[in-house]
A and B are shown apart, each in its own frame.
Chain A
Amino acid sequence: ETGVTQTPRHLVMGMTNKKSLKCEQHLGHNAMYWYKQSAKKPLELMFVYNFKEQTENNSVPSRFSPECPNSSHLFLHLHTLQPEDSALYLCASSQDAVAGIYEQYFGPGTRLTVT
């Protein structure tokens, strides 16, 4: 499945670093999502963008900063992370996030390790 791509696939960063995760969808969708999956925990929704507008911030700490320049691209800017932020970060897209029953398509994820 290449509809949703994420880069990098693996990232190791120190607590004082600044890095960014990138997501791109080639499905013509209008909604994009960031999820976090920690070890042995269910997926947690972090942010939702619909038509480039942020529609949900699920009480995510400010050290995570999303950016959606257009409907095809989504970024997650990271700074001063903590070791407990180590997780698999997943991007998803769907037709939209307002109405309908559209399924979400996920990317392969970025495995982040904070040292």
Chain B
Amino acid sequence: QKEVEQDPGPLSVPEGAIVSLNCTYSNSAFQYFMWYRQYSRKGPELLMYTYSSGNKEDGRFTAQVDKSSKYISLFIRDSQPSDSATYLCAGGKGGGNKLTFGTGTQLKVEL
């Protein structure tokens, strides 16, 4: 079993839709989480960093962490074609130097 699981997609949505991207993880020691956006043939770009359960909002993006169910989500409001990319989630242990990544979900926002 992979420590971090993501549905690879592709997930296709119309422009303006609310997108929900999800990850599950198995390691109870994970204390912090990150979401990255990666365009084709580019390096991952950090979108959100969270260190506790609950919600964190930044513009059109909301990250949600539920440690009791080991479930993390990224919501994108008013999705745009420029949001079309692969989204990676990652978890890390407190005091540890290593992030464990999911394989990514490909998102397509269509006009």
**Do the two shown chains form a genuine complex with each other?**
no
Which residues of B pack against A, CB within 8 Å? none
